[in-house]
Amino acid sequence: MTEPIKLNTTDNQFIISIDKDFLDKEALLKFINYLRVESLARKVDFDEDIEALGEEIKAEWWKKNKDRFIPKEEQ
C-alpha cells in the first residue's frame, strides 16, 4: 500500500503528492489558500500599534453588539 501523502524535496522546492482518495479537491484548495495566507502574514511587518488597534476594534464591536448576545439584565 502506498502512502497517501508523499513529500520530496529539491534544492528550492517541496514537492507534495497527495492521493486523490485521501483528500478531495475542495479541502486541498482550502489548505493551499491557508498556506498562502500564512506566507503573506509572515511577510507583513506590523508594528506594536496593530495589537492596540485590534483591541480597540473588538471593544467597539462588543459595545455595539453585546445586546445581541448578552441579555440586558445580565450586563
Averaged pLDDT of the chain: 91
Q: Which pLDDT score is estimated for 56?
A: 95
State the pLDDT confidence band at 1, using cuts at 50, 70 and 90.
low
- Domain map (residue ranges) of the chain: 1-44, 47-75
Grid coordinates belonging to 57? 476594534
Distance CA 24, CA 50 (A): 37
Distance CA 30, CA 33 (A): 5
pLDDT digits (tens, 9 = 90+) for 21-32: 999 999 999 999
Distance CA 38, CA 41 (A): 5
Higher pLDDT, 9 or 70: 9
Please tell me the pTM assigned to this model: 0.53
